[in-house]
Amino acid sequence: MEPRRRGTWSPSPGFRGLLLLVYALATIAAEQEVENLSGLSPNPEKAIFVVRENGTICLMAEFAAKLIVPYDVSAPNFVDTLPEQAYIPLSRAAEERGKCGSNESELQISWIDKAYTLRLYFVKESRNTSAGPEAWWKMNKVQFVYDSSEHTYFKEAVNPGKHTVTTRHLSALVTPAGKSYECQAQQTISLASSDHQKAVVLLLSEIRLQPFDIRSDYVFSEGHKCRVDQTEQLEETLPLVLGLILGLIIVITLGVYHIHLKMTANQVQIPRDRSEYKHMG
C-alpha cells in the first residue's frame, strides 16, 4: 500500500471570495472607525469624536451643539396652526461614522435611533499668492436630517415626518492648513430646507476641531482662534496693558520730578530782592 502523498491545500474559489469579502469589510471598518469620547468631557453638553483611518487618527472634533428646529402644532380650534420650536441638543450617546481624505473629510453623527443625523463636511484648499502657496481648510457643508414624529423634542407636530436641511455656499471655521480651529464663542449656522420647511439653526460653541494633518494621536495642532475669541481676549487684556502703561508713566513722572528737586536743591539761590545782596559774601 502506497503512502498518501502530502500536498498543499488550495482553497476553493468560493472560499477565496469569502476571505476577500471578510478582508474588505475589515479594511472598511478600520478606515471608518470612530470613537465617541464624550464621556471624558466634564461638560455634559460637549461631545468629543475621533476618527481613525488605518489605525491612525485623522480627524478630531470637540464641541457643544444644539439645533433649533421650527415646526407647527395645531391651534385650539383644530383648524389653524401655531408656530413652535424644538431645541435639540447633540446627544453624548450618539452613534458616529467618519471618513478622511487628503482634501475632504466628513463626520456623521446620529442619535435616538437615527431620528436625528448631523453631517459635517470639511475641505482643504490651496492657492498661489505673491508670498507663495497658501493652504487652509474649512467646513463647507452641514446637513441635518430630522424626524418630527419623534416625541422627545417634537410635541404633536402637524404633518410629522422626515425632513432634510442643508447649508448653502457655506465657508465656516476657516483655518490655516496644519492648524486646529479653536473657538469658545457661539457660532450660528443656518440650514435651509428643500421641502418648504422653515430654516433650522445650528448653534456650535466650545469648538476645538481638526479634520486634516493631525501629527500625533489625541493631540491637536496649534490652535487658530476665531475672531470673536481674539476680540474678547483683546478686551480682557487691553485694560491691563493700559493700566501698566499708565503706572509706568506715573513712575517716570515721579522720578523726573524727584531728580529735578535734587538738582534745584544743590543750586545757589539768587536773591530776588536787591537789598539781600549785602548779606551775600
Given this model, what pLDDT does residue 103 score?
96
Distance CA 173, CA 180 (A): 10
Q: How many CB atoms lie within 10 A of CB 280?
A: 8
pLDDT band at 27 (very low <50, low <70, confident <90, very high): very low
Given this model, what pLDDT does residue 248 score?
77
pLDDT band at 196 (very low <50, low <70, confident <90, very high): confident
Tens digit of pLDDT for each residue in 135-186?
999 999 999 999 999 999 999 999 999 999 999 999 999 999 999 999 999 9
Task: Find all residues with CB under 8 Å of 221, minimum gap 6, and list them.
Answer: 178, 179, 180, 210, 213, 214, 215
Higher pLDDT, 22 or 245: 245
DSSP 219: B
Given this model, what pLDDT does residue 240 score?
66
Mean pLDDT of 180-194: 95
Given this model, what pLDDT does residue 23 score?
43
Tens digit of pLDDT for each residue in 70-126?
999 999 988 899 999 999 999 999 999 999 999 999 999 999 999 999 999 999 999
Q: What is the mean pLDDT of the chain?
A: 84
C-beta of residue 91 within 8 angstroms of C-beta of residue 38: no
Mean pLDDT of 42-60: 94
Higher pLDDT, 13 or 215: 215
Predicted confidence (pLDDT) at residue 7 exceeds the cutoff of 70: no
C-beta of residue 121 within 8 angstroms of C-beta of residue 108: no
Predicted confidence (pLDDT) at residue 272 exceeds the cutoff of 80: no
